[in-house]
């Protein structure tokens, strides 16, 4: 993955000081007491690398990373304004879902495809509920939990959330094998039984409920987002061997669940 760089006032944000957990908590407590904007600025600058790491995940999918970075910073500022220092949780754990929420909301609203208002409303409510759920439980809510809270069918929820994904042109070049460009349309398989495919997808979504937070994160990154084990290891700050072990364990759990 190529390195996307951001500069503020001519300074690469990689050069800004990264505060320790204790330093961050102390500054957050000071800011909540006196709302000193200089303290808030220091908190923002020291956490820009976190925003950058999340934005980089989208660099193969969008052309406007600068806009995406600014949107991510909005999520960071919201996290600073609303973080509860009395909770025994790292600030980054609290901030990540807020940053991603702002990024996904921006991508959804800037999508070129027309999405029915009813589906957009369901998707928005689901994302809001999921953000609140992550703050309280430090994991994403399952489809079943979301559908229960929204009082809608799981199939409708899946359709609504699927409608928020980025849209690619069928003529978009996805690779070049040396004999010329290969477009996206040529890579779409001809499925004669779409109903069976949808059912398998639903079964897989249900099976993923059996995974713990780390297993679910790695499976999503590997098989839905397309990241390598090395990239995931760097993101989670663990070894590639650990990622490989957790991935194999998660796949084993999914296989047992789906086979019954």
Query: Mean per-residue pLDDT for 65-87?
Result: 88
Q: Can you tell me the distance from the alpha carbon of 168 to that of 183, in angstroms, rounded to the nearest whole number?
A: 11
Flag whether pLDDT at 46 surpasses 70: yes
**Higher pLDDT residue, 225 or 86?**
86
pLDDT recorded at residue 116 = 67
CA neighbours closer than 13 Å in the CB half-sphere of residue 60: 9
Among candidate residues 81, 15, 16, the one with its CA nearest the CA of residue 42: 16
Fold of 189-260: Arc Repressor Mutant, subunit A (1.10.10)
Q: How many Cβ atoms from other residues are within 10 Å of residue 101's Cβ?
A: 18
Residue 107 banded pLDDT, cuts 50, 70, 90? confident
| Range(s) of the chain covered by CATH 1.10.10.10 | 111-167, 189-260
What does pLDDT average to over the chain? Answer: 77
CATH of domain 111-167: 1.10.10.10
Distance of CA 141 to the CA centre of its chain: 13
């Amino acid at each position: 993955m190529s390195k996307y760089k951001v500069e503020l006032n001519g300074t690469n944000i990689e050069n800004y000081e990264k505060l320790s957990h204790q330093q961050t908590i102390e500054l957050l407590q000071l800011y909540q007491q006196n709302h000193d904007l200089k303290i808030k600025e220091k908190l923002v600058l020291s956490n820009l690398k976190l925003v950058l790491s999340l934005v980089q995940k989208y660099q193969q999918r969008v052309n406007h990373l600068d806009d995406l970075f600014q949107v991510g910073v909005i999520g960071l500022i919201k996290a600073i304004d609303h973080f509860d220092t009395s909770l025994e949780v790292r600030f980054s754990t609290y901030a990540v879902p807020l940053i991603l929420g702002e990024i996904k909301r921006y991508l959804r609203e800037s999508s070129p495809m027309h999405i029915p208002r009813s589906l957009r409303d369901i998707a928005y409510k689901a994302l809001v509920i999921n953000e609140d759920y992550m703050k309280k439980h430090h994991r994403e809510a399952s489809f079943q939990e979301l559908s229960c809270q929204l009082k809608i069918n799981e199939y409708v929820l899946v359709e609504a959330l699927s409608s928020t994904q980025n849209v690619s042109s069928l003529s978009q070049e996805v690779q070049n094998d040396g004999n010329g460009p290969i477009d996206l349309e040529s890579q779409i398989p001809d499925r004669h039984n779409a109903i069976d495919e949808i059912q398998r997808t639903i079964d897989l979504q249900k099976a993923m409920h059996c995974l713990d937070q780390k297993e679910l994160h790695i499976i999503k990154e590997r098989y839905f987002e397309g990241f390598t084990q090395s990239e995931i290891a760097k993101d989670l700050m663990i070894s590639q061997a650990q990622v490989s072990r957790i991935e194999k364990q998660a796949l084993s759990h999914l296989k047992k669940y789906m086979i019954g």
